[in-house]
Structures are given as structure tokens and as C-alpha cells.
Structure 1
Amino acid sequence: MNASPPYLGFGLGLRTCYFEDIIQTQPDIDWLEIISENYFVDGGKPWHYLDQIKERYPIAMHGVSMSIGSTGEVNFDYLSKLKRTIHRVNPAWISDHLCFSSLGDFNSHDLLPLPYTEEALAHLSERLRIVQDFLERPLILENVSSYLTYHQSQMTEWDFLCALHHQSGCQFLLDINNVYVSARNHGFDAMDYLNAIPKQAVAQIHLAGHSDFGSHIVDTHDQPVCDAVWQLFECYAQSMPRVNTMIERDDNFPPFETLMAELNQAKALAPMSWRSHG
């Protein structure tokens, strides 16, 4: 399953604090991305607003707790809830993170990177097949930021992603902020990473902020997109066919107009061809 999602343009992460702004002002946004798990309930405030919003805007679904890289049994209870939500939302595409967050009964509530080994590659490819067969939909995987590496790793993260794409057809949600965070923390060149990923493997881009502590930086997604990430995006985009791109903010939420200004900055930095939906 490797069908590419439709090109929709430039979007925002839909968060509860912006429900009223979007419904009342109907801003010029091409699409919105929801956190899948927030809609596993049958009703309530999230669905009250989403049912109105999705009448006007295409919706993508982004999960945070699938833990596809886990070595435990596949969580079919979770996948059943996700599948029911997919049927109700009818999203343009679905995504989650290339990571693990649980080990047995332990849940770290964090997105932990995998060791980049042939064994992990085979394991992840098989898990991806199982998940996609159950959901009957392709699953796009996002690169996570990292603060440690494994002695066991046999390849770079970008070589691992390339191998996963060639082996499974998997496409990726490239979070350029996450690439920058990992590059700073581990001392590699972020453009080497971005340029290594096959162009046809990139289905979506996230742009977000982080917290800089000097000796290391942390992917907090609670700050504006920094100049270095904007520069990475602009440079990377020039060599790419158009890619669905969005601004992601998960905490410390600014006025809605501030996020719209960031979205407009992304449009301005992208090639002109990205601004056409035809």
C-alpha cells in the first residue's frame, strides 16, 4: 500500500483552542490535521466542532500512540478505535510516528527512536504490513527527534528511512524541525538527511518550533518556527515537487493570527508551483 495522498496545499494542526476562530472566520487554509486519539470518543466537544469544520476543510489524521516499532503484540484494540475514527472522519490520509513508546505494560508517553539495524527494519516492515492490512489504508510515518543513539545501529537514520521505503513502499511525514533538532543534538548535516530521502517518499511536511538550551535542543513544538528551520525548509523545497505542508503547534498557543502568519510565511518560501492545487 503506497498510494500517494492528494496534494491539498498548506494546512494547520487543528487544536481545541482554535475551533471557534476557524468556524467563525473561515480562514484561507487548505486543510487541517487532527490528533487521531482525541476523537476516539463517540461525542463531546471535539466532535461537535469537527463535524462542522470538516464540512468546509479536508482533514488529515495524525496519531501519537500507535507505537508501531514496539516489540510487543500489535494493539488491535487501539487499531479498531482508529479504524472507526477513520470511517467517521474520512481523512485525506493518516499518519503516525516511526518510533516506539511502549514496552510490555510500560508506556513511556514519549516517542522513542528505534535502533537502525536490519533486524529493526524487518520488524518495522512487517508491523507496517499488519497495520495497513487491518486499516485498509496506507500509513504515513513521521521521523521523530532524538536525544540518544544506539551502539547497535548499523546505518544512519536517513539510510534506514530509505531502506524502509524501498522495502515496503512506505511514505513519510518529514518534520523538518525534528530533523534540525536531531542534527544539532548528534552533529550531522540536516540537508544531508533531507536530500537522502527519495522525493517520491515524502508525502507531508511539518514545520514547528523547539526549545534551545545551548548544549542541546528539545522538540517542544511550543515555539515559533526558528530562522534555521525556515532556511532548511526553503532550501529543501526548491528541489522538491509540491508537498503538503503545515504548521504544527502543541502548546503555548499564540493568537490564531500568529499561526496564520507562519502559514503565510511557509507559502511565501515554497516554490510557486506549490501554491496551485490543480
Structure 2
Amino acid sequence: MPYENRSKEYFSKNDSLFVLDDPVSSLDRNNEIGIYSLIEHEISEIKRLTNTNNNFVQVIALTHSLPVYYALEKVGDEVFKTKKGKPSKTTCKMLKKGKLTDTKTIDYNYRSLIRDVYDFAKSNLTDISDNPASYYGTANKLRRVLEEYSYFNFDIGGTGLPKNKLINEYLETCVQSHKVHSETRDKITRALVPLWMNSESHGKEKVKSGSIDHNIQLLDPEETQKCARLMLLLLDLLHPTGLPGLINNQISKKDQEDINQHLSEWDSEFAEL
């Protein structure tokens, strides 16, 4: 697309600004290396053509995935590398609570998202109702966690997770061994439909036509919290370390007991609904 209706000489006579908005998503897992290579090759080529006349090239890459964030940082360092001893031409920032901040040590992958979801799942609904903005974006975090966990660990989509034959058989084993109530297992499957219908960051055609407001949360606080609890119960059953290990791989015994207590309470509540 950068070359569409343009000759290569165009870049030697003009400055260039490229914005790559979420160039790699979880749906691209099998093509990730190829996409990174393509980005590196094309930007390097444009940079080479542009540098013949000392023009300006800037690339802004946006992503909500930490693995992609780190990979793009490496691509940027390679394309815009400087001579030894000179400051990097690549700047990396993270948007957190409405502010761009310099990145420091960040938990890799979806662990930080899971912590956010867990904090929301155990929060008081009254407090959330009094401050609706506190839960905006939570349903989207749920979808992202489930989507990334599904692809990283099983190479299948999030909604297909409980429908997968082997996983479904395992969940049935969990019911038989009393790790989870059958009613809860059934609700886990049904909860994924409204979760995926929450289109805060999906719905390409609606976004292009301007007919969707991304500030609208399609699930109310109570529905969102139910989805959060059901998804955490699912991850606890599937992951070898359970939910405590997903939240923190060096979690204290007391915190582990608190998490397991919440999970047990939620399972019992869903079984009685």
C-alpha cells in the first residue's frame, strides 16, 4: 500500500509518516514472523529510498498485546539502529490510565490483564455502580485474556475453547471429580456468547461507518462481573497452576488461599442461580 499510485522516487522527495494500528492480532499467530519480517523489510526499504535526500521517516506502531509490543520494539531498534554510543531512535510508551508513560519492567503476556480482571471480579458491585467509569473496558479485557490464552495454549479461538472436544471432555471430568459444579460448567459456555458480542474493539464495518461508540459498554456491571468470574473459573480449571499461578508465579500462601476461596464461592453461587 505505501507504493500505491507512487513511484519509488516519491520517497526520495518527501517525508513519510506511517501508522501501523494493531498490525498483528491473535488471529495472526501462524503468520507473526512473516508479518514482522514484512514490516522490517518495507520500512527499511522506504528508509533507504528516503535517506538519499535526507528526508524524514517516522513510524508509529500501536498494539494492545505485550508480546507484539516487545517484538515491534526489536523491529524498530533494527530498522532505526544508531551508531554505538548514540541514543536510540526508537521510543516505546505505554498508555495506562489515560497517560503515556515510559516502559519499565512489565509482566509479559496477559498476566497483568488477568490481575485486573480478578480485581474487578472480586470488587463490590455497589462501588462499581456508583462509579460506572471504573468498569469501562473490562469486558474487552476479558475477551483479550480469553483470546490470547486460547491461542497461546491451544491454538484455537476463545469462543471455541469450551467447545473443543478434548477440553469439553476435561471439563466433564472436572465435574465428575467435583472440581466444579455442572451448572457452573454450563454457564461458562453460555457466558462466552455475550462476551464476544461485546464489540469495544471489534466490529470493523461499524467502526468504519461511524455507527458504534467505543465508549459504550455493551454489558452492564453485573453481567460483566458474572462473565469475569466464569472466565476465571475456566482458566483455573485449564491452567496447570490454576488461577493463582496465572496471577503471580511467586504468590504467597495466604494470597493463594484467598484466590481459591473466591473461586469456590463463585462456583457455589453459580450452581445455585
- Shorter chain as normaliser: what TM range? under 0.3
TM-score (norm 1): 0.23
Structure number with the bigger relative contact order (C-alpha 8 A, sep ≥ 6) is: 1
Tell me the TM-score normalised to structure 2 length.
Answer: 0.24
Greater helix percent: which structure? 2
Highest Rg: 1 or 2? 2
